Amino acid sequence: MKNILLNIFALWALCSIIGCSDFLEEKSDSRLATPVTLEDNQALMDRTFNTVLSNSISGQISADEIYITDADYGNLIYEFEKRLYTWQPNEVSSSDENDWGSCYRRINVCNTVLYNIEHYQIAGAENLKGQALALRAAIYLEAAQIYCLVYNESTANTDLGLPLRLDPDINIPSKRSSLKETYSQIISDLKEAAMLLPNTQIALIRPSKATTLGYLSRTYLFMGDYQNALEYGKQTLSINDNLIDFNTLNPSDSYPIKSMNTEILLHSSMVYSQFLSSSMAKIPQSLYNIYDNNDLRKSIYFRFNTAQQILFKGNYSGGATRMTSLATDEVYLNVAESYARLNDMQLAMQTLNELLKTRWKTGTYIPMTANSQSETLNIILKERRKELLFRGLRWSDLKRYNRDGAGISLQRTVNGTTYILPPNDLRYAIAIPEDIIKMTGMPQNPR
C-alpha cells in the first residue's frame, strides 16, 4: 500500500509541475519503439542472444556423440531433455522451453528487420538485408534437421516441412509447407543474400558472403546434391581457406581453441543446456579410441575428470560454451566428401589431407590414400565425425547416411532400460511441442 501511495503522490507532483492535461495528452514518439533507421535494425541483428547465440540442442542430445550417467539423468531439470535422450515419440514440453520457440523467435527477428527495410524504405541496407536473409535461412535449415525427416528427392514434395513464416505479423496462420518448399526457401534466401553481402564482415557474428556460400554447401550436402555442395564449398574456400595449425595450440589449456579464430565463418553457439554442460556430457570411450596418439585433436579436444570419464574441451568458443559455428574445417570436409561421392578420389583425398596435416603433430602425418570410392568415403566420413565433434551436425549426418543405406542403429541404456533408434525411424523427425499443435492445428510429425 505504501508503494502505491508513493506512486500516486509522484504522479500528482508531476502533474502539478507541468500541467496534468498536457502530460496525459503528450503523444509518444513511435520512433522510440519502432526501429526505422539502418542503425536501429543493425542493432536488432547484432543482439546476439536473439540471433546467433541460442541455437538448437535437440540434435546434439539425440545423437550418439555423448552420454550421461544415470545419476545425472535423474538430476535433469527439464523433462524434454530426458525424452530427447531416450528418443520418446512425443514432445510434451512448452515451446518456450525448447528449440521450436527459439528457432521461431530468431526467425521473427530476421523477418522484422526485412519488413522494416522495405516498409520504411531504409537506404543503404543491402548488407543488412543480406544478413537477415542468410540468418533466416540458417535457422530454417537448423529447424529442418530437428523437426523434419531427412531430405529425399523422391518424397520431398509430400514430406512435411516447416511453417514458412516470412512476415513478422503474428496473426498470419501457421501452416506446414512441404519439405521441398522448405529447402527451396532456404536456398532462395541464401542465394539472394550472397548477392548482397561482402566477402567478409567487420564482426564474425554477422553473416558474410563466405557464410552464405558455406551454408549453401551444407544445405546441398544434406540434400544429397553433391555437385552443388562441391561448387559452393569451393566458392567458400576461395574467400577463406584458413585452417588452424593445431601445433600452435596449448593442449594444457582448459579450452585450447580460441574464440573468433581464423576458421570461423559465422560465430554461433547452442543455447545453454544442463545436459550439455562441460561436466555432465561425457564422450564414449569407443569414440575417443579412434584418434591416433599423434593426432593432436586427442589432446586438444578431450580431458579426463577425476573419475577418468572423458569430457570435451574442444569448443570453438575459448570456453565452455558449446559452439555451432560454421567454419572452414567443415567446408573442407564437405568438399572432400562431395568429390568422393562424384567419384573423384584423388581430389577427395587431396582436400582431406590439406585439413588433416594441420591436426597432427609436425612431422608425423603421412597423407592418406584410398583405392576405391567406398574406401575414400569411409575415410572421409570417419574424419568428419572426429573433426566436427560437438558442433551440432552429427544428428543430420546420421539421418542422411541412413537415407543412403548406412544402416546405423543407435542404442543407449538408462537405469537398466535399453532404448533403440533404428535407421530411418520416424522419430528422426522430433515431435513438435504439443502446445503448438493445439494452437495452430498443424499436423504433428507421424509416428
Q: List per-residue pLDDT tens for the chain, 447 residues long.
A: 334 333 433 443 434 434 444 433 444 443 446 899 999 999 999 999 999 999 999 999 999 999 999 999 999 999 999 999 999 998 666 655 689 999 999 999 999 999 999 999 999 999 999 999 999 999 999 999 999 999 999 999 999 999 999 999 999 999 999 999 999 999 999 999 999 999 999 999 999 999 999 999 999 999 999 999 999 999 999 999 999 999 999 999 999 999 999 999 999 999 999 999 999 999 999 999 999 999 999 999 999 999 999 999 999 999 999 999 999 999 999 999 999 999 999 999 999 999 999 999 999 999 999 999 999 999 999 999 999 999 999 999 999 999 999 999 999 999 999 999 999 999 999 999 999 999 999 999 999
Write the burial class of residue 105 (CB in 10 Å: 0-12 exposed, 13-18 middle, 19+ buried).
middle
DSSP 8-state class, residue 171: T
Task: Output the nine-digit C-alpha cell for 169.
Answer: 505479423
Cα–Cα dist 340/292, whole Å: 23
Give the residue among 334, 364, 370 at the shortest CA–CA distance from 247.
Answer: 364
Amino acid at 232: Y
DSSP readout, 235-272? Answer: HHHHH------GGGS-TTSSS-SPTT-TTEEE--BBPP
Cα–Cα dist 218/190, whole Å: 11
- Using CA atoms in the order 382, 412, 255, 48, what is the torsion angle rounded to 10 degrees? 100
Do the Cβ atoms of 117 and 129 come closer than 8 Å?
yes
**pLDDT of 127:** 98
* 3-class secondary structure, 103: helix
Query: What's the whole-model pTM score?
Result: 0.92
Q: Please report, for residues 12, 13, 16, 26, 28, the alpha-carbon distance to residue 7 in angstroms, rounded to integers and kept in the order given.
A: 9, 10, 14, 20, 21
- Which domains are assigned to the chain? 35-440 (1.25.40.390)
Task: Output the nine-digit C-alpha cell for 13.
Answer: 507532483
